């Protein structure tokens, strides 16, 4: 089988979508193994290694069998695996609303346009902001979302400047601002956003309030 026929998968499970403008909706998650970044606050380091190599058709069948209208492909970094592009296409063909969580470093140019890309732009405290692939912004449209995960005031100012200087609201109305759990108080972020009149959606990671902190597969 070719590299387009198989994927290394960490887990496939149904839960609620915890973030983005789809937050709260039942969602099937396909979590791929492997990431080429190492954000200091990464909350899925368990997906860096291991996993099970599966035929793409089996991954598709397993995900569709969970029967949610929304399916998200996440990681790790899904776009490191060539089979993710055809898998995304097949999920769309099956009538699902398809989300792709991606780091902002991987090239999103060839992602099926029906997919809602939820793309990070890494802020300085992640340790990976030098990896942002700014040309990806050319491929972000109104159905896509840009996410900032913020650990401190410096990260907030990075987001504020990027939103303004790169005119992100012109590309998409879905600009997401999250806090690193336990590092930045959401009330501080809300205050800063209000003070600056910034057109972002402050979001809390809903699944972390629903499930225990050490839960996997949620």
Q: Which residues in this chain contact ligand SF4 in the complex, by CB under 6 A?
A: 35, 37-39, 42, 44, 75-77, 103
Between 103 and 132, CB nearer to ligand SF4: 103
Please list the residues that pair with 9 across neighbouring strands: 32, 52
Between 7 and 35, CB nearer to ligand SF4: 35
Between 196 and 205, CB nearer to ligand SF4: 205
CB of 31 to ligand SF4, least distance (A): 10
CB of 126 to ligand SF4, least distance (A): 7
CB of 163 to ligand SF4, least distance (A): 20
Distances in Å between the alpha carbon of 17 and those of 165, 166, 205?
Answer: 30, 28, 9
CB of 81 to ligand SF4, least distance (A): 13
Q: Which 3-state string (H, E, C) describes 92-152? A: HHCCCEEEEEECCCCCCCCCCCCCEEEEECCCHHHCCHHHCCHHHHHHCCCCCEEEEEECC
Between 51 and 76, CB nearer to ligand SF4: 76
- The answer to whether the CB of 171 falls within 8 A of the CB of 137 is yes
CB of 61 to ligand SF4, least distance (A): 25
- C-alpha 163: how far from its chain's center? 18
Dist CA 122 CA 132 (whole Å): 6
Between 37 and 91, CB nearer to ligand SF4: 37
């Amino acid at each position: 089988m070719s590299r387009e026929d198989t994927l290394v998968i960490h887990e496939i499970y149904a839960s609620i979508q915890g973030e983005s403008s789809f937050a709260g909706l039942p969602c099937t998650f396909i979590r791929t193994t492997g990431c080429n970044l190492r954000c200091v606050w990464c909350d899925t380091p368990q997906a860096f290694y291991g996993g099970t190599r599966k035929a793409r058709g089996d991954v598709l069948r397993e995900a569709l069998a969970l029967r949610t209208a929304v399916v998200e492909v996440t990681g790790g970094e899904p776009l490191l695996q060539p089979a993710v592009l055809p898998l995304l296409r097949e999920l769309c063909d099956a009538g699902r609303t398809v989300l792709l969580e991606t780091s902002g470093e991987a090239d999103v140019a060839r992602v099926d346009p029906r997919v809602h890309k939820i793309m990070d732009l890494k802020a300085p405290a992640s340790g990976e902001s030098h990896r942002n692939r700014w040309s990806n912004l050319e491929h972000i449209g109104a159905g896509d979302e840009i996410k900032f995960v913020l650990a401190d005031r410096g990260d907030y100012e990075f987001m504020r400047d990027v939103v303004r200087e790169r005119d992100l609201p012109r590309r998409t109305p879905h600009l997401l601002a999250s806090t690193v759990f336990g590092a930045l108080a959401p009330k501080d972020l809300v205050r800063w956003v209000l003070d600056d009149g910034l057109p972002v959606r402050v979001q809390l990671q809903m699944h972390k309030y629903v499930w225990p902190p050490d839960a996997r597969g949620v």
